[in-house]
Amino acid sequence: MGYWVALLLSLALSVLIAWVWAFVGSSRVDGAFQMRVAWWLALIFGCGAAFAGQRIFRLYRQALRWRGDVLTWNGSGGHVAMRSLVSLQTSVFGFAQARFAGGRSLSVDLAAAGSSDLIEKIEDVNGLAPADRPGEH
């Protein structure tokens, strides 16, 4: 839901600022500078909306499915058991990279809904969970 909110709000701000830039303008002494700033703001918010839309599209295309201890996603070549995990790493960009036996690799966007639950489940199944976190119930 976070990406949807980012998409809608960024798009709304971009359109609003672009509308002001194109049709309203400014009659102040520094109006030319204000309109330059408005143009850049519209562009930046538009890029933010494009980024959020791209993330939504990639998450949809990945088609990650999780049932019990089995994962399936586009490009996985079938069902992948969570117990076949070889390594689990996180990046500074907000992704977790899970590598499984057979060379299969899954990139999980940690900002996506349910992703933290999935990573916790993978950690629990493979005995990687922190000692202070209770196990599955």
pLDDT confidence of residue 119: 92
| Token pair for 108 | 């999980």
CB-based burial, 18-54: b 16+ in 10 Å, e otherwise? bebbeeeeeeeeeeeeebeebeebbeebbebbeebbe
pLDDT by 10-residue block (mean), the chain, 137 residues: 94 97 90 95 98 95 93 91 93 92 92 90 86 63
**From CA 88, how far away is CA 102, in angstroms rounded?**
15
**From CA 5, how far away is CA 48, in angstroms rounded?**
11
pLDDT confidence of residue 129: 75
For 106, half-sphere exposure in the C-beta direction (CA atoms, 13 angstrom radius) is 33
